[in-house]
Amino acid sequence: MKLKTIAEALIDEASSVAQLRAALNAFSQLCSDVGGVVPNPSFSAWADDSLLKDGVAISPEAAAHCVNDSQRTVVFIRAAYAAITAAKQRFANGPIEVLYAGCGPFATLLLPLLANFRPGELVVHLLDIHQRSLDSVALLIRHFDLEGHRISYVKDDACHYQHSSNPHVIIAETMQKSLEQEPQFAVTANLAPQLHARGIFIPQKIEVSLCLAKLEAERAAVQRGDALDPNALEATGERHALATVLCLTPEHAVTLRQQALQNSHGSLELNPIHVTLPAITNLNTFDAVLFTRIQAFEQHRLLDYESEITLPLRCNEFTPLKAGEQYRVGLQIGSYPKFSVTRVRDS
């Protein structure tokens, strides 16, 4: 399959799941043949992860493997295409400057789209902490005959990198579910203020909410292929939303960081929320769960269970669930970001 055919299949809203999978498989195979990085899930490739001050930058092999998270990849590629198209209208004098942070070895969220733009329309900066990833992308750009585009390669830490201008579009997907482990928050807080005033940051919003849910039943329903509608689950009492524990938008990331408080473990915690467990029938049949929802750009969204990065995360810290108990919940930032849950004891 040619890159242009792959891109067409990925952008076309009418493509079937099978067609999308075939296009992603073809892309991944082409990229690993040419760039030399073979996708590998993180559990066997983690030795090459970089443990940064603000989170883990996964290895080139693990980053390559992200392409297989199909719905994630398709939604972000469509979001990137829509955002660059919108930016072309907003900044009609062109060219559109795109900064892609954490591009990985395949520059998956942008590379398939490049052939859809004329040389000169875009100025692209590809940023990653891993030189091997940048070397791989450079080979791909040459192989796919995309060298007519103005492309620069930057090896740096996106949590601290200062760009020389204000890009019109910034793309950054350095996250796992519930913003755990990888530095998405720190990358957003560093890069969002560098965006052009009318620019577009992808993703536009990441929301993490705490719910009481029947996780095993929900997972079984997803396995069967049933559609899970959170509103319907709430209406029938199968789920109870307790609180939005984080709403990360590029506009508010810096304020969130400025207002971070030190928690009892001596780590910085963002905007901790106090939650009281409600008195509901059969409380102990529920799990306390974090759900992640992502708005990549406008209608291009990822909801519960739709991708690896929006899978639910059970919070065992609430077990056993007792009505009336109070907890403090907040994203702990630092070298291993994760939600911290602390029981608030009566004084």
The answer for residues whose C-beta is within 8 angstroms of residue 180's C-beta and 6 or more apart is 313, 337, 338, 339
For residue 234, count other CB atoms closer than 10 A to its CB: 14
Q: How far apart are CA 29 and CA 24, in angstroms?
A: 8
Cβ nearer to ligand SAM, comparing 128 with 218: 128
Least spacing, CB of residue 8 vs ligand SAM, in Å: 19
Cβ nearer to ligand SAM, comparing 37 with 288: 37
Least spacing, CB of residue 72 vs ligand SAM, in Å: 8
Out of 187, 206, 296, 311, the residue judged to bind ligand SAM by CB under 6 A: 187
Q: Which of residues 252-271 bind ligand SAM (CB under 6 A)?
A: none
Least spacing, CB of residue 273 vs ligand SAM, in Å: 26
Give yes or no for a contact between 24 and 68, defined as CB atoms under 8 angstroms apart.
Answer: yes
In DSSP notation, 166-183 reads: --SEEEE----GGG-SS-
Out of 157, 218, 269, 287, the residue judged to bind ligand SAM by CB under 6 A: 157
159 binds ligand SAM (CB under 6 A): yes
109 binds ligand SAM (CB under 6 A): yes
Cβ nearer to ligand SAM, comparing 185 with 318: 185
How far, CA to CA in Å, does 100 sit from each of 30, 94, 283?
A: 21, 18, 44
Take residue 87 and report the two structure tokens written for it.
């930016």
Q: What is the torsional sign of CA 135, 174, 61, 38?
A: negative
Distance between alpha carbon 156 and the CA centroid of its chain, in Å? 19
Least spacing, CB of residue 5 vs ligand SAM, in Å: 20
97 binds ligand SAM (CB under 6 A): no
Give how many residues touch ligand SAM by CB under 6 A.
24
Burial of 151 (0-12, 13-18, 19+ CB in 10 A): buried
Q: Which of residues 19-78 bind ligand SAM (CB under 6 A)?
A: 52, 57-58, 63, 66-67
Stretch that binds ligand SAM, among 20-28, 142-150, 155-163, 325-333 (CB under 6 A): 155-163
Return the residue matching tokens 């719910």.
211
Least spacing, CB of residue 83 vs ligand SAM, in Å: 15
Cα torsion 247, 248, 249, 255 to 10°: value is 100
292 binds ligand SAM (CB under 6 A): no
Least spacing, CB of residue 103 vs ligand SAM, in Å: 5
How far, CA to CA in Å, does 116 sit from each of 37, 119, 122, 205, 209?
A: 25, 10, 11, 26, 37
Stretch that binds ligand SAM, among 29-37, 152-160, 228-236, 334-342 (CB under 6 A): 152-160
The answer for residues whose C-beta is within 8 angstroms of residue 155's C-beta and 6 or more apart is 127, 128, 129, 130, 131, 134
Helices then strands (H, E): number in the chain? 10, 16
141 binds ligand SAM (CB under 6 A): no
Least spacing, CB of residue 288 vs ligand SAM, in Å: 26
Least spacing, CB of residue 99 vs ligand SAM, in Å: 11
Q: Which residues bind ligand SAM (CB under 6 A)?
A: 52, 57-58, 63, 66-67, 102-104, 108-109, 127-130, 133, 157-159, 173-174, 182-183, 187
